[in-house]
A and B are shown apart, each in its own frame.
Chain A
Amino acid sequence: MATIVVLIVFALFLGAILTGGYNKQMLARFRSHWLWDWITTVDHKKIGILYLIGGTIFFVIGGIEALLMRTQLFYPNNDFMVGRTFNELLSMHGTTMIFFVAMPLLFALMNAVIPLQIGARDVAFPFLNALGFWLFLCGGLLMNLSWIFGNAPDSGWTNYVPIALNEYSAGTGIDYYVLGLQISGIGTLIGGLNFIVTIINMRTPGMSFLRMPLFTWTSFVSSALILFGFPPLTAGLFLVMFDRLFGANFFDVAAGGNPVIWQHLFWIFGHPEVYIVILPAFGIMSEVISTFAKKRLFGYTSMVFATLLIGFLGFMVWVHHMFTVGMGPVANSIFAIATMAIAVPTGIKVFNWLFTLWGGKIRFTTAMLYAVGFIPTFVLGGVTGVMLASPPGDYQYHDSYFVVAHFHYVLIGGTVFGILAGVYYWWPKMFGYLLNEKLGKLNFWLFFIGFHMTFFIQHFLGLFGMPRRVFTYQPEDQVELINQISTVGAFLQAVAVVVLVINVIYSYRNRVPAGNDPWDGRTLEWTITSPPPVYNFAQLPKVRALDAFWHEKMNGKKELEPAEPVGPIHMPNNTHLPFLMSLAFFVSGLGFVFRSNEVGALGLIFVFLVMFMRSFEQDHGYHIETDEIEKTEKGASV
């Protein structure tokens, strides 16, 4: 405790020296700083960029963890990262990649694109949007602080009890997992709710549900999955938290508890979670394929229906993660059949993509390469998924590298390819300039080859009997060569990511304005300037068909007909409260991790205080006047 006080005082001194002392001008200096603008922003486009930066930082951290693990597995009996360190690496890699990379990067694209696609000026709850981002960042930072304090979570991303309880995981490692996920989980839930309301309520005139672009549709369904899926995780995390911190015994068999409850709660959340991260990727692929094949998406209505069906069935299959728990053949069979049923709507989607490509005027841009590479890769992951869905097979594959190969095929081949396609596709809309296509293609091929090199061969590693989550193997196991190929592939992927970073820097240095519509797009986001003005649409557009912009282009028009006269636009004010509230949550989480309940409670009190401030604050936003809008629009057209 004393150390923390000393550190805080030291930080305050340092802050005073660097900012020029605590005086009256300090607040004004803070406010005029560019960082203050980003901290207090409620603009969905800026929050999208913040999500993108946050997700990328954690992507690098999670990637380094993966490289360290692959390096350890390069030789038999290697002693580079062994035992507990390896367990920490694999736990943090999984948790980071799912919660702090896949979800925020998808939220980045959702934030940047959805309001534009449905013709809205912002999301329904801009304040909550900012709060969602800062909570995600605080949760992620809290969890990664565990590396600095030398005690990271080490019982897998699934955090199974009783391994995760005090008895077997002493120290504070698991507490970082529990509290970090709890805090970022609140943020995700808020984000999901926000998008549901935005999509239901904020669509522009004429944008009926069945005229929404598919990315909006899939994000809508995945937001609904967040809404229904995260509460079980929150409940489960509370149980673990109370068991670990306050001596409860929900999972203590001797006291009448049951550890299997955690597995159920985790997977009731965990299975919808994998659909939460794959569905928006499906949406991105549909947009990219339709744009670059220059065709209307084949079977749009069946795509929507398939998305809804996948979302619904996603809640009925969680037990397939627990076949080997021993619930008996009846339970296993029911859930096996439910799982295999999901292959039907997914198959509908795959065929629709293929039929969209069929006869299209295809342009192989980087985004399109990712989309086309995605289809066979994802089908491979889907096929092994159906194999794993069969209980007798699952007893053989369970906890082997076969499972690792399977879920990396769907998570990288599906979600990451989707995110990268989306980043290349919407980058000009977000930042106003295109990413370099040559470097982009190099990035794609390196990543694609590296990915298959790493994970295709892991199927066989699993079939040869190598269990997952072990830090070494013996020379006589004869899996050395396969492991070495896999490691080389992992480093190839890392090179690909470096190429992507170089591409971003290079394209920024040599940027030329991309214009409103660099890809000859079909949807509303391409009708406005890149990057769009604060208010997005000077006049809300009138939508008359699916692929609204394309419809107008085909009718010989350059832009959409407005649905309203030019008038003052009501905008929300920037606010620092979301940042403050998240900071309070962070302090509270850190307090509970260090088993200092006073600090934890103090943080929560501060949270409620900020909520109180927010509730009684009179903030009606501001108006952008007509002449200002006209000036902006004129400047954009020149």
Chain B
Amino acid sequence: MEANTQPTQAQTGKQDSGLKYVASFALMILLTAVAFAAVAMNIVPQGWVIPLILVLAAVQVFLQLFTFMHLDLKKDAVTVSFMVTGLFIGVVCAVAVAILV
């Protein structure tokens, strides 16, 4: 029985999730375009360019994780702990190197 219920669930969720992928894909392209525009077209004041790009990047990372990597679907402790550990190690290394170099 359990094996039967899963595909039906996926089928019912199929229509709106397809739209979700397209929407978030478009949003990502838009975010990337904004980042390029911020550098190329001098719309934003000089000092704000890097913070702006970082914020855009953070938004995009979450979009990636939740729509394409399905972090919202799998309530799997192992997956989440790997993600968090990787993020933590990455941040520690990046910040330390930025300070020390």
A315 to B90, CA, bound (A): 9
B73 at the interface (CB under 8 A from A): no
Q: Give chain A nearest CB distance to B71 CB in angstroms.
A: 16
Contacting residue for B101 out of A228, A258, A268, CB 8 A? A258
For B100, give the chain A residue with the smallest CB separation: A327
Contacting residue for A319 out of B78, B82, B86, B96, CB 8 A? B96
Contact with B along A255-271 (1 / 0, CB 8 A): 00010110010001000
Q: Which of A275-326 contact B (CB under 8 A)?
A: 312, 315-316, 318-319
A3 to B72, CA, bound (A): 58
Known contacts A319-B100, A331-B100: does B93 contact A224 (CB below 8 Å)?
no
Contacting residue for A315 out of B78, B82, B93, CB 8 A? B93
A591 at the interface (CB under 8 A from B): no
Contacting residue for B93 out of A196, A227, A232, A260, CB 8 A? A232
Q: Give chain A nearest CB distance to B38 CB in angstroms.
A: 22
Q: Give the A-binding residues of B (Cβ under 8 A).
A: 78, 82, 85-86, 89, 92-93, 96-97, 99-101
Contacting residue for A264 out of B78, B82, B92, B100, CB 8 A? B100
Contact in complex: B89, A264 (CB < 8 Å): no
A634 to B84, CA, bound (A): 49
A316 to B93, CA, bound (A): 8
A228 to B92, CA, bound (A): 13
Interface of chain B: mostly helix, strand, loop or mixed: helix
Interface centre among A200, A228, A319 (most CB of B within 10 A): A228
Known contacts A232-B93, A315-B93, A316-B92: does B85 contact A264 (CB below 8 Å)?
no
A318 to B92, CA, bound (A): 11
A197 to B86, CA, bound (A): 16
Contact in complex: B101, A261 (CB < 8 Å): yes
- List residues of chain A with CB within 8 A of the CB of B86: 227-228
- List residues of chain A with CB within 8 A of the CB of B85: 224, 228, 312
- List residues of chain B with CB within 8 A of the CB of A318: 93
Q: Give chain B nearest CB distance to A61 CB in angstroms.
A: 33
Contact in complex: B89, A228 (CB < 8 Å): yes
A200 to B76, CA, bound (A): 11
- List residues of chain B with CB within 8 A of the CB of A268: 93, 97
10 A–B contacts from the bound complex (CB under 8 Å):
A196-B82, A200-B78, A228-B85, A260-B100, A264-B100, A268-B93, A315-B92, A315-B93, A319-B100, A331-B99
Told that A228-B85, A264-B101, A318-B93 touch, could you supply 19 new A-B pairs with CB distance under 8 A?
Answer: A196-B82, A200-B78, A224-B82, A227-B82, A227-B86, A228-B89, A258-B101, A260-B100, A261-B97, A261-B101, A264-B97, A268-B93, A268-B97, A315-B89, A315-B93, A316-B92, A319-B100, A327-B100, A331-B99
Q: Give chain B nearest CB distance to A161 CB in angstroms.
A: 13
- List residues of chain A with CB within 8 A of the CB of B99: 331
- List residues of chain B with CB within 8 A of the CB of A261: 97, 101
A497 to B78, CA, bound (A): 41
- List residues of chain B with CB within 8 A of the CB of A227: 82, 86
- List residues of chain A with CB within 8 A of the CB of B92: 315-316
For A322, give the chain B residue with the smallest CB separation: B100
A315 to B96, CA, bound (A): 12
For A265, give the chain B residue with the smallest CB separation: B97
Q: Give chain A nearest CB distance to B42 CB in angstroms.
A: 22
Contact with B along A317-341 (1 / 0, CB 8 A): 0110000000100010000000000
- List residues of chain A with CB within 8 A of the CB of B101: 258, 260-261, 264
Interface centre among B78, B92, B93 (most CB of A within 10 A): B93
Interface centre among B86, B99, B101 (most CB of A within 10 A): B101
A268 to B99, CA, bound (A): 15
A312 to B89, CA, bound (A): 9
Q: Give chain B nearest CB distance to A276 CB in angstroms.
A: 14
A66 to B8, CA, bound (A): 63
A228 to B85, CA, bound (A): 9
A261 to B96, CA, bound (A): 11
Q: Give chain A nearest CB distance to B25 CB in angstroms.
A: 21
- List residues of chain A with CB within 8 A of the CB of B82: 196, 224, 227
Q: Give chain A nearest CB distance to B76 CB in angstroms.
A: 9
Q: Which 6 A-B pairs have the closest CB atoms?
A: A315-B89, A264-B97, A327-B100, A268-B93, A260-B101, A228-B89
A331 to B99, CA, bound (A): 10
A228 to B89, CA, bound (A): 8
- List residues of chain A with CB within 8 A of the CB of B93: 232, 268, 315, 318
Q: Give chain A nearest CB distance to B59 CB in angstroms.
A: 23
Q: Give chain A nearest CB distance to B72 CB in angstroms.
A: 19
Q: Give chain A nearest CB distance to B3 CB in angstroms.
A: 15
- List residues of chain B with CB within 8 A of the CB of A258: 101
A200 to B85, CA, bound (A): 16
